A and B are shown apart, each in its own frame.
Chain A
Amino acid sequence: MIESQKSHQSPSDLLETSSQCTTPPDLRKKKRPGEMIIQALLFLSGAISILTTIGIVYELGKESLNFFTQTNWEQTNRDLQVSVQPEDLLIPIERSGFSLETGDLIRVEEEIMTIETITDGQIQVLRGQEGTSITGHTKGSEIFLSSQVTIREFFTGLKWNPQIGEFGIWPLLNATLIVSLIAMLVSLPLGLSIAIFLSEYASSRARKIIKPILEVLSGIPTVVYGYFALTFMTPLLKVIFGNRVVEVYNMASAGIVVGILIIPLVSSMSEDALSAVPRSLREAAYGLGSTKLETALKIVVPAATSGVVAAFIVAVSRAVGETMVVALAAGAGPNFTLNPFKPAETMTGHIVRISGGDLSYDSIDYNSIFAIGLFLFFVTLGLNVISQRVVRRFREVYE
Chain B
Amino acid sequence: MKDTQPLENSSYSTNLPARHRRGNHWQRVFFASTFVGIVALIVLLLNIINSAFGLVAVENTIDPQDLAINDIPIQQLHQTDLVYILENNLSAGLIRRLESETAWENRSREEIYDLVVQRVVEPKVVDTWTLFDSLFYRERITSTLQDDHPEAVLEFRSWLSADFLVNPQSPDPERAGVRTAILGSLWTISITILFSFPMGVGAAIYLEEYATDTPLNRLIQTNINNLAGVPSIIYGMLGLAIFVRVLEKITSGALFGVVDQTTANGRTVLSAGLTLGLLVLPLIIINAQEAIKAVPNSLRQASYGMGATKWQTVWYHVLPNALPGILTGAILAISRAIGETAPLVVVGASTFITFDPKSPFSKFTTLPIQIWQWTARPQDEFRNIAAAAILVLLGLLLTLNAVAVLLRNRYSTRN
Contacts and interface: CB of A to CB of B under 8 A. Distances in A.
B206 A196 contact: no
A210 interface: yes
A327 B232 CA distance: 14
Interface string A293-323: 1100100000000000000001001101111
What 10 A-B pairs come out closest when comparing CB atoms? Answer: A321-B231, A221-B339, A45-B202, A193-B33, A42-B206, A59-B241, A323-B342, A197-B30, A293-B23, A384-B229
A398 interface: no
B199 A45 contact: yes
B342 A327 contact: yes
B394 A220 contact: yes
B310 A46 contact: no
Contacts of B354: none
Interface stretch (A87-95, A137-145, A224-232, A277-285): A224-232
A380 B345 contact: no
B263 to A, nearest CB: 14
A49 B310 contact: no
A291 interface: yes
Nearest to B43: A232
Nearest to A229: B375
A34 B394 CA distance: 44
B30 A52 contact: no
A43 B200 contact: no
A197 B33 contact: yes
Given A351-B237, A351-B346, A221 B341 contact: yes
A384 B47 CA distance: 34
B23 A56 contact: no
A377 interface: yes
Nearest to B220: A46
Contacts of B375: 223, 226-227, 230-231, 328
Main secondary structure of the interface of B (DSSP, over half): helix
Nearest to A366: B240
Nearest to B376: A328
Range for the number of chain A residues in contact with chain B: 35 or more
Interface in A44-79: 44-50, 52-53, 55-56, 59-60, 62-63
A356 interface: yes
Interface string A206-228: 00001001101101111111111
Contacts of B282: 49
B248 to A, nearest CB: 10
B27 A321 contact: no
Interface stretch (A98-106, A162-170, A368-376): A368-376
A317 to B, nearest CB: 6
Contacts of A224: 44, 48, 339, 371, 390, 393-394
Contact of B234 (A41, A202, A376, A384): A376
Interface stretch (B34-42, B77-85, B112-120, B322-330): B34-42
B233 A348 contact: yes
B230 A381 contact: yes
Nearest to B201: A45
B68 interface: no
B20 A291 contact: yes
Nearest to A377: B234
A370 B375 CA distance: 26
A190 interface: yes
B411 interface: no
Contact of A223 (B22, B26, B199, B341): B341
B371 to A, nearest CB: 5
B198 interface: yes
B409 to A, nearest CB: 16
B10 interface: no
Contacts of B309: 32, 35
B169 to A, nearest CB: 17
B401 interface: yes
B136 interface: no
Contacts of B31: 197, 201
B205 interface: yes
Interface residues of B, number: 86
Given A46-B202, A219-B335, A384-B226, A361 B43 contact: no
B165 to A, nearest CB: 18
24 contacts: A32-B309, A46-B211, A48-B199, A52-B227, A60-B234, A60-B237, A198-B34, A210-B37, A222-B341, A223-B375, A224-B44, A224-B339, A224-B393, A227-B387, A231-B51, A231-B383, A293-B23, A314-B229, A318-B231, A327-B372, A348-B342, A351-B233, A373-B234, A377-B230
A38 interface: yes
Contact of A201 (B30, B226, B345): B30
Contacts of A320: 231
B19 interface: yes
Nearest to B25: A293
Interface string B233-257: 1111110111001000000000000
B230 A380 contact: yes
A46 B203 contact: yes
Contacts of A48: 199, 203, 281
A252 interface: no
B339 A222 contact: yes
B285 interface: yes
B341 A34 contact: no
A380 B229 contact: yes
A83 interface: no
A197 B51 contact: no
B276 to A, nearest CB: 13
Contacts of B345: 352, 355-356
A317 B229 contact: yes
B37 A214 contact: yes
Contacts of B240: 355
Given A55-B238, A385-B226, A42 B44 contact: no
Interface in B270-319: 278, 281-282, 285, 309-311
Given A35-B310, A52-B227, A197-B33, A291 B238 contact: no
A34 B217 CA distance: 22
A292 interface: yes
A39 interface: yes
A222 B368 CA distance: 9
Contacts of B278: 52
B223 to A, nearest CB: 5
A267 interface: yes
A390 to B, nearest CB: 14
A197 B338 contact: no
Which of A59, A214, A318, A369 counts the most B-chain CB atoms under 10 A from its CB? A59
